[in-house]
Amino acid sequence: MNGRPNIIVVDDEPTALASLLDALTRRYGGDYRVIPHLSALGALAELERLKNEGELVALIIADQWMPEMTGSDVLVLAHRIFPEAQRGLLVEWGDRTAAPAILEGCAMGRLENYLHKPWFPPEVHLYPAVGEFLADWTRMHGPRMEIVRVLGEDPSPRTREIRDLLERNGIPHGFYRSDSEDGLRLIEKTRLDPTRLPAVVLLDGHVLSDPTNAEILDALGATDVEEPTCDLAIVGGGPAGLASAVYASSEGLRTVVIEREAVGGQAGTSSLIRNYLGFPRGISGAELAQRAYEQAWLFGTKYVFAREASRLEARGTDRIVALADGTEIVAKSVLIATGAAYRRLGIPELERFTGTGVFYIVPSDGRFVEGKDVFVSGAGNSAGQGVVHLARFARSVTLLVRGDSLEKHMSDYLVREIRNRPNVEVRLRTEAVEGHGDGQLERLTIADRKRGLRETRAASALFVIIGAQPHTEWLADAVQRNAKGFIVTGADVNTEAANWPLDRPPTRFETSMPGVFAAGDVRSGSAKRVGSAVGEGAVAMPFIHEYLKTPVSLGPGVAIGSGGEQEIA
């Protein structure tokens, strides 16, 4: 077996193939073996041989126009042999005839992206694209850097929670089962207490036994609460909160972001977002969130992780965000961008498998469902994105839709991609009602409401993505909310009920408490899209700047909400 993953290049033009081979070998030859083929059939035979010999294939590049078959057909057939390999279609500059193959191929999941030829200089036109292909493959299938090592049992809900926390915060880590050879060696080397699992081993050898999320992120230096005063406190580190943080910090405001779980919020759990502006190949929610997090941090934003906001109040011109651990963030203004959480099934026979087969997010690392039969419950875009991602790894994916139409709540490009996945089955008017297994989900009972039938099928995992509810319970009556708990802003605020103290009405994103704003999914009337949340977070900033010019004093310990002025005990 070759120790390096393979890159397969197919082009029937000898000169073009030789040039591409030379460029790729010069840049990537130390880590990958680049294999050229003038024949499409020869390349497919080579892939079969590599599969039989246990080799790895990271990337397949095929020229679109070849005599035996088109490059897009080669990539479809190659995907059946190496479904984990990245696929790039090679097209001539200005070749309009290749456009349908590119557009349909990307929409239907038949290829990841395309490359142009000629591509000189390669540093500009070739290597960046190839580097993205290889980075995506390595992220899913290659070796991992381990800043943190997690030791625990498997299955274990808490172990899975820690791994998801690290994954969503972009912290490279490895997992070691406590009963494996590597796990036992780690226990012996670190002298940790095997009765206090899961444990987290840091790069310097420091061990955290059965730690809280806050202890983990504090140990990694992610939280900064040394100076609890700021111009703007942003509650929520999703797309809306991060967008506001970027603009606020870049414009000189002292900004603190408070996030209860991980950057990205609900969007951070999306395995692939393909309709976000500027990312034609798509981008995972976690990667998008990490880029935004770093961008805001470089401008000076400070972060408070794994702490939950528990109360909001006004003290004169200050707005106070109290955290569950007793910390108080004193701000001149506040933006609430806590987003919304996926609703839970509420079925005890399924909830008991939470973390051991039933999950409310689709992790970006889908290798743990490789070769297994899994189910997804939901009908929106997030559910569709999860299905497409899981289909790359699982043997089969069954999408359970309670309604009678997939098109009603899901974007057309996702519907088409799901319909064209050979290992995906869509079941309308069907829902999961019961789980079975000895400590871990092994079988799933589903009810077909249309036919009035129940059936039990083998299932390794159920991913539940069935709508959202806002994170606003901590606000109590501090600001007005609608019947579903979403925050009311702007012209929708009932100023009489709120005892609104100003001559002007609430501005567009302002809540019933002057100086407190809301943006993103948590706001009543928002579009519930990543792009919309980012836009709201950015557009809210001029209104926040305008408020900061003349902050409003509400007196000591006063919160203004749906019940009028209230003294804070």
Q: Are residues 451 and 502 both part of a single domain? A: no
Structure tokens at 14: 């000898």
Q: Is residue 224 part of a domain?
A: no
Q: Are residues 131 and 17 both part of a single domain? A: yes
Give the model's pLDDT for residue 569.
40
Q: What is the CATH number of the domain that holds 501?
A: 3.50.50.60
- Residues 83, 419: Cα–Cα separation, whole Å: 18
Q: Are residues 126 and 35 both part of a single domain? A: yes
- Side-by-side strand order, sheet with 207-209: 173-177, 148-152, 199-202, 207-209
pTM over 0.75: yes
Give the model's pLDDT for residue 564.
47
Give me the residues of the chain with pLDDT under 50, please.
563-569
Question: 220-226 — which CB contacts under 8 Å span 24+ positions?
Answer: 220/147, 220/148, 220/171, 222/169, 222/303, 222/305, 223/303, 223/304, 223/305, 223/306, 223/307, 224/302, 224/303, 224/304, 225/302, 225/304, 225/327, 225/329
Give the model's pLDDT for residue 362.
80
Q: Is residue 156 part of a domain?
A: yes
Q: Are residues 160 and 200 both part of a single domain? A: yes
Q: Is residue 427 part of a domain?
A: yes
Give the model's pLDDT for residue 567.
47
Structure tokens at 557: 């310990």
Q: Are residues 371 and 456 both part of a single domain? A: yes
Q: Is residue 1 part of a domain?
A: no
- Residues 370, 300: Cα–Cα separation, whole Å: 41
Structure tokens at 473: 């319970």
Domain end (from 466, 482, 515):
466
Q: Is residue 439 part of a domain?
A: yes
Nearest to 357 by CA among 275, 410, 435: 435
Q: Are residues 400 and 303 both part of a single domain? A: no
Q: Greatest CA separation found in the chain?
A: 81
Q: Is residue 493 part of a domain?
A: yes
Give the model's pLDDT for residue 563.
47
Q: Are residues 163 and 286 both part of a single domain? A: no
Instruction: Express each pLDDT in 157-191 by its tens digit.
Output: 899 999 988 888 888 899 999 999 999 999 999 99
The domain total for the chain is 4
Q: What share of the chain is helix, strand, coil (3-state, %, to 5)?
A: 30, 25, 40
Domain range for 505 is 229-341+470-567
- The number of C-alpha atoms within 13 Å of 100 and in the hemisphere containing its C-beta is 2
Q: Are residues 273 and 352 both part of a single domain? A: no
Give the model's pLDDT for residue 330.
97
Give the model's pLDDT for residue 2.
64
- Residues 7, 47: Cα–Cα separation, whole Å: 10
Q: Is residue 409 part of a domain?
A: yes
Give the model's pLDDT for residue 162.
93
Q: Are residues 191 and 262 both part of a single domain? A: no
Domain end (from 441, 466, 491):
466
Give the model's pLDDT for residue 20.
97
Q: Are residues 236 and 184 both part of a single domain? A: no
Alpha-helix residue ranges (DSSP H) falling in 280-380: 285-298, 348-351
Give the model's pLDDT for residue 1.
57
Q: What is the CATH number of the domain that holds 72?
A: 3.40.50.2300
Domain end (from 416, 433, 466):
466
Q: Are residues 477 and 458 both part of a single domain? A: no
Q: Are residues 462 and 474 both part of a single domain? A: no
Structure tokens at 191: 């002298």
